[in-house]
Each structure stands twice: as structure tokens, then as C-alpha cells.
Copies of this chain bind each other. A is one copy, B any other.
Amino acid sequence: MKSAIKELEEKGKAAKAASRKLAFLSTEVKNKALLNIAEALITKKDEILAANKIDYEEAKASGMSEAMLDRLMLSPSRLEGIAQDTRTVAALPAPVGEVFEMRTLPNGLQISKRRVPLGVIGAIYESRPNVTIDISSLCLKSGNAVILRGGKEAINSNAALAKVAQEACDQAGVPQGAIQLIESTERALVNHMLKMKGIIDLMIPRGGAGLIKLVSENAAMPVLSGGIGVCHTYVDKNADLNKAVAIAYNAKVQRPTVCNALDCILVHNQIAQAYLPSIAKEWAKAGVEMHCDEQALTILKPVPSLKLVPATDEDWGKEYLSLKAAIKVVDSLDEALEHIEKYGSGHSEAIVTEDHSAATRFLNEVDAACVYANASTRFTDGSQFGLGAEIGISTQKFHARGPMALKELTSYKWIIQGTGQVRP
């Protein structure tokens, strides 16, 4: 354990030293390194896949589930996918160096903010080895050094991928130490890493709720992580029924396993009779199980071939991540707003209405990262919003809210240029 901590601290120091140089490394070199990584993922695929095979066999022998094994496995086509993502990051605009809020003060001082990297980013993640390259690319593009701590079960894959990335960076002229992988798999190292304030400027956990909670509660430094999404769509009494069906169908069915998928529809009682059978029939074709409050149940019972379940208290505020949806009939926009305030997770919330005042109230009053009028919550996504890469979707209000990308891995500094000014 002592030697593992020593290794971690040495890698921390090396990352810190590299970060000083990365802060003003040209975008040209960074992009060259990214393209090198993409290329090396293909040319060195044999050694990467051989390392991955060791992890896979060991995990299989130890009884890992099929789903987990699938996440662990790399293949030529998966490596091509990772390479393509890396090329995409290379093509994005550089986040650092941007100068904003520039102005000249009455005393002649020229003052501005310049976007700069955060410094050193710590990443703790679980079995998917692609995160090794994914996070490394985002950190490199944003001028940050990174200390990677992947899962034990993927250690050989991660080591092979990190080596490929490090060599590709070296060849492009990136300062040594920019990408560090912790090779020790001792669990206690994570706790030590979370206390390395002064070395690590930001911690990014990627994985299940348990990991995110552990990191959020114990890190001495700031943490950037995605939040869970309990997403509502409110169908107002003045909704266009066709739009409301298309939107709720898309939000639930297009990809039910993700955080921005619909969990609950709230339907105004004046439109429930007309609306609910239409959406329910569509949902039923896709296999959606509907957890209905009493009123919804009364309306939907006569409709044939639906999977109906009476809703219990546990259905409100639940993130299903599957083909299930809760349905509640409300008496007013106010009741919908109250329900969302009580049960939403501050992720993505939508109203469907042709009534401008209702839409305005909803957009003003709902306190969530993304609020929609007449569109599917499935759009909450870095790529869909035009940000390119995505780190996650924040439901916090501090530093970053909603989809987070390269800019959220930066800070700024104030630059003040004078000609001898002193304060009176």
C-alpha cells in the first residue's frame, strides 16, 4: 500500500508539472496528439486487444455477468469507434485561450478574462475501458493533465490504452506526464486520491450511483458528475394532441435506458380523455408498461391491449431507465408545477401546449437544468445541443448545469494590462 501511495503521489506531481506547460500548449500540438491517438488505436490494435483478452478471460472466470462482460470487451470495430470519437474531439473548437468581457477602464487599464484549463483532473471510472481514451482526449483538448483510475477488472486494457495515448502524445510534443494511469488496484488508493487537493483540481467520477456518491461525499476538491434524470412531460389542456403524442412517444421510447428519457407524463384533466388513449396505444406497441393514477386508470381501462399497473407512491419521482412510464392526471398547470417541484430531479422537464402564457410560466418557474416547450426531453445532450463531446449532464447549479463539454473543464483568469497605473 505504501508503494502504491508513493506511485500515486509521484504521478500526481508529474501531472501537476505537465499541467503548467499544457496551459499554454498550442492547439495545433494538442490536435496532432489527438489524431496520433486515433491512428495508434488502429495500428496498435493487436496489443490492445491482447491486453483486453486477459481482462475478459479473468472477469469471465470470476463469474462477471454477461452485461458487464459486454461493457468490458473491446473489438476492432469498438476501437474504430473510439478512434472516431477522438478525431471528433480534435475537430472541435479549442476551448482555452478564448478572451471575453474585454474592456478598457476609465484609467486606461485593459482588462479581460481569458479561458484557461483547470489544471489536473482526476478521473475514477468503472469497467468500460473506452473511458481511458475518452477522458484523456477531453482533458488534452482542454489543456488539462489527467490522472486516470480505472476499474481493477479492466487494468490490462486500461494500461495498454494509456500507453498508446502517452506515446501518441510524446510524438506530437505534448509535455510528458499529461496522461497518468494509476496501475495499482488497491481500493484504498481512491480515498487517498480524493484528498489530494492542491494536486488534483477537479474530480470526475464515471460509473454507477455508488461511485458518484462516494466521490461527491469524500472529495476534498470540486466534483463534476452527471445527475439522475426524473423527467416529466406535462400535456397542457391547450396542447396540440399530435405533437403531444409524438413528443411523449419519442421521449419514452427512442432510448429508454438513458437519463433524459421520459419517466412521467402529467396530463391536464380537460384533455386526458382525448389524449391518454392515443399515447397509450402507441406506447403499448413499443411495449411500455404504464403506471397509472386512479383517473388515468379509469380512462385507460377500456382500451384493449395495454400494460396497465396502478401507480403507487413509489412511482412518483422514479427514474425507470426502462420501458415503464408513470401517468398522472392533474387539475391545472399549478398542480403540474407542484408535482415537478416535488418529484423532479432538476434534469429535463417539458410542457406541450399551444398556450403561450402557459409555456412561459412553465419555462420560467420550473427549476431544472433544461426546460422545454413543445419538444422531446431526449434532446438534452451535448452533441444535440451542438457542444460536441459530452462529459455528462449536470443537475447541479454550481459551475456547470445541463450538458457539460470542453468548456466546463476550464476556468478563466483575469488579464490586466497597464502602462504604470496605480490605485488612487
Contacts and interface: CB of A to CB of B under 8 A. Distances in A.
B423 A384 contact: yes
Interface string A397-422: 11101110000000111111111111
B119 A420 contact: no
Given A119-B367, A367-B23, A416-B379, A398 B411 contact: yes
Interface stretch (A133-141, A279-287, A368-376): A368-376
Interface string A259-295: 0000000000000000000000000000000000000
A399 to B, nearest CB: 4
A300 interface: no
A413 B373 contact: no
Contact of A414 (B24, B364, B385, B415): B385
Given A23-B365, A376-B423, A386-B105, A370 B413 contact: yes
A298 interface: no
Q: Place the interface of chain A in its size category.
A: 35 or more
Interface stretch (A48-56, A66-74, A175-183, A240-248): A240-248
Interface string A346-379: 0000000000000100011101111111111011
A20 B374 contact: no
A20 B365 contact: yes
Contacts of A37: none
A386 B378 CA distance: 41
A102 to B, nearest CB: 12
A103 interface: yes
Given A23-B365, A386-B105, A375 B421 contact: yes
Contact of A422 (B20, B250, B370): B250
A374 B116 CA distance: 22
Interface of A: 20, 23-24, 103, 105, 109, 111, 116, 118-119, 201-202, 217, 220, 222, 240, 242-243, 246-247, 249-251, 254, 341, 359, 363-365, 367-376, 378-380, 384-386, 396-399, 401-403, 411-423
